[in-house]
Amino acid sequence: MVAYAIGVAGLLVLVAGTFLPWLQSGQVRRNSYASFGVLDRLIGFHGVTEAAIKVWPLLGLCCAAVVTAAVVRWHGTAAVLGLLMAGWSAAVAIAVLLRDTSAGVQVVAVGPLVTFVGDIAVAAAATLTLVQQVRNHSLRREP
């Protein structure tokens, strides 16, 4: 039950972080959703990075899928989805934090850092859930 509380808190923190400032140009601060449009126009994205950024607006839907899977008691599915989503958003947040600023655009660390903290909590909860699933499965198999 602790894993679920950690997971829900992590999902809430993760989503909240996406709405906090990620980039600043001049006096304008932009959340992750607006930032990626600006970055795409300024520097462009290619390959895996482009795919991760293009589907970023679906992050909230992915969080809802994790919660839905947990509610219908598909705990393993919820954990795997949570790990995939946390890995994806953590990679994006880290990439933004490590990005060199260009053309007067500065990284505002608060949004990516809060998102990353949520990612860590989601990953921890998902890992605990998977360990519990394996443990329960092995206990059922013993005579």
Short-list 123, 52, 115, 38, CA closest to 30: 38
User: What pTM was estimated for this model as a whole?
Assistant: 0.87
- Give the whole-angstrom CA distance, residue 125 versus residue 106: 33
Q: How many residues does the chain have?
A: 143
Contact assessment for residue 108 and residue 22, using Cβ atoms and an 8 Å cutoff: yes
Q: What residues does each domain of the chain span?
A: 2-138
Q: Between residues 124 and 107, which one has the greater pLDDT?
A: 124
Q: How many CA atoms lie within 13 A of 99 on its CB side?
A: 26
- Nearest in space to 47 (alpha carbons), one of 105, 95, 102: 95
Please state, in angstroms and rounded to a whole number, the distance separating the CA atoms of residues 139 and 133.
10
Which tens digit of pLDDT belongs to each residue from 14-66?
Answer: 999 999 999 888 899 999 999 887 777 766 777 887 888 888 999 999 999 99
* Residue-by-residue DSSP string for 35-47: HHHHHHHHT---H
pLDDT digits (tens, 9 = 90+) for 75-123: 999 999 999 999 999 998 998 888 776 667 788 999 999 999 999 999 9
